[in-house]
């Protein structure tokens, strides 16, 4: 585990990761750069120093890891301040959608050690999943360090082919939003069927959370779990005939994930 982390950008995703790291004591010191109100909830936490900009960082700071968690659109203006750390042995861990290893080599120098990753927001409760891809300049201990940091916030996987990160973004990076939308839609459908809004939302939330937990803990495949609640001629079958029809959920999901994957590629341009 590293001594010092430098987190650049403490918004939704940076904050989610920082929460996970603090809970699991992932490092000794955290320097957080956040110009907005995003880091206010972390004020006074042990080992955390919050800065509005890079100018107030200690002159002798040499972080083990620089985590880049600003919006992709902000990255180019944010990066120059951190370039000196690239020659001081820090590894850069980016969570930005669409920003490629080639992009970081151009902005931080070809020798910079960079790991590109795609986490997701359940990291805030230690239940995220992140996929990482390392530049050839990253050493084995640096790889281990970045993997361990993201493992402190959930599951971790690695890919060799950087091109796959766009599809990972479409599935798990953006995926929590699809599931929250599912809760909203299920609750609205319950209201349409006559339930009071509060009860419909409670049922929808508990059903998605409970089914998610069952899928996590059960050794059965998702298809088997689905079949287990589907009796021939029953109520679930009637609903699944709609959801699994030609223009049903599968077709919609394929289009949605393809749109997110495409957008991730566009952000790289």
Ligand X SMILES: NC(=O)c1ccc[n+]([C@@H]2O[C@H](COP(=O)([O-])OP(=O)(O)OC[C@H]3O[C@@H](n4cnc5c(N)ncnc54)[C@H](OP(=O)(O)O)[C@@H]3O)[C@@H](O)[C@H]2O)c1
72 binds ligand X (CB under 6 A): yes
Q: Quick one: which of 104, 173, 200, 260 contacts ligand X (CB under 6 A)?
A: 173
Tell me how far, at minimum, the Cβ of 172 lies from ligand X, in Å. 9
43 binds ligand X (CB under 6 A): no
Residue closer to ligand X by CB (options 119, 154) is 119
79 binds ligand X (CB under 6 A): no
78 binds ligand X (CB under 6 A): yes
DSSP character at residue 81 = G
CA-wise closest residue to 139 among 127, 149, 147, 131: 147
Quick one: which segment of 34-42, 105-113, 147-155, 202-210 binds ligand X (CB under 6 A)? 34-42
Q: Quick one: which of 5, 6, 27, 95 contacts ligand X (CB under 6 A)?
A: 95
**What's the Rg (C-alpha) of the chain?**
21
132 binds ligand X (CB under 6 A): no
80 binds ligand X (CB under 6 A): no
69 binds ligand X (CB under 6 A): yes
d(CA 35, CA 52): 4
Tell me how far CA of residue 76 lies from CA of 9, 63, 103, 104, 167, in angstroms: 13, 20, 9, 9, 23
CA-wise closest residue to 175 among 264, 257, 252, 90: 257
Q: Quick one: which of 2, 4, 6, 8 contacts ligand X (CB under 6 A)?
A: 8
36 binds ligand X (CB under 6 A): yes
**Touching ligand X, residues 143-172 (CB under 6 A):** none
Closest-CB residue for ligand X? Answer: 11
d(CA 35, CA 41): 14
19 binds ligand X (CB under 6 A): no
97 binds ligand X (CB under 6 A): yes
12 binds ligand X (CB under 6 A): yes
**Residue 91 in 3-state DSSP?**
strand
CA-wise closest residue to 64 among 125, 112, 5, 144: 5
Contact assessment for residue 157 and residue 252, using Cβ atoms and an 8 Å cutoff? no
Quick one: which segment of 68-76, 104-112, 140-148, 222-230 binds ligand X (CB under 6 A)? 68-76
Contact assessment for residue 75 and residue 16, using Cβ atoms and an 8 Å cutoff? no
Q: What does the block give as tokens for 107?
A: 């902005």
**Residue 119 in 3-state DSSP?**
coil
What value, to the nearest 5°, has the Cα angle with vertex 161 and ends 156 and 162?
80
Tell me how far, at minimum, the Cβ of 244 lies from ligand X, in Å. 28
Which residue ranges make up the site for ligand X (CB under 6 A)? 8-14, 33-36, 38, 69-72, 74, 78, 95-97, 118-121, 173
């Amino acid at each position: 585990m590293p001594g010092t982390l430098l987190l650049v950008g403490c918004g939704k995703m940076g904050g989610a990761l920082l929460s996970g790291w603090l809970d699991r004591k992932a490092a000794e010191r955290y320097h957080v750069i956040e110009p907005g109100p995003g880091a206010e909830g972390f004020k006074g936490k042990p080992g955390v120093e919050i800065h509005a900009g890079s100018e107030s960082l200690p002159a002798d700071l040499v972080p083990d890891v620089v985590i880049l968690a600003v919006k992709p659109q902000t990255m180019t203006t944010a990066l120059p301040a951190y370039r000196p750390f690239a020659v001081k042995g820090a590894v850069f861990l980016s969570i930005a959608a669409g920003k490629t290893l080639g992009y970081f080599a151009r902005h931080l120098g070809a020798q910079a050690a960079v790991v590109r990753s795609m986490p997701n927001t359940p990291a805030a409760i230690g239940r995220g999943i992140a996929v990482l891809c390392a530049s050839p300049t990253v050493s084995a201990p640096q790889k281990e360090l970045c993997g361990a940091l993201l493992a402190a916030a959930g599951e971790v996987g690695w890919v060799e082919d950087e091109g796959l990160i766009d599809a990972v973004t479409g599935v798990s990076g953006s995926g929590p939003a699809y599931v929250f939308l599912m809760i909203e839609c299920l609750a609205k459908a319950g209201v349409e069927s006559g339930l009071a809004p509060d009860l419909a939302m409670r049922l929808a939330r508990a059903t998605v959370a409970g089914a998610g937990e069952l899928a996590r803990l059960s050794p059965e495949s998702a298809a088997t779990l689905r079949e287990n609640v589907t009796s021939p001629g029953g109520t679930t079958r009637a609903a699944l005939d709609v959801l699994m029809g030609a223009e049903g959920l599968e077709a919609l999901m394929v289009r949605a994930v393809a749109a997110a994957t495409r957008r991730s590629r566009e952000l790289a341009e």
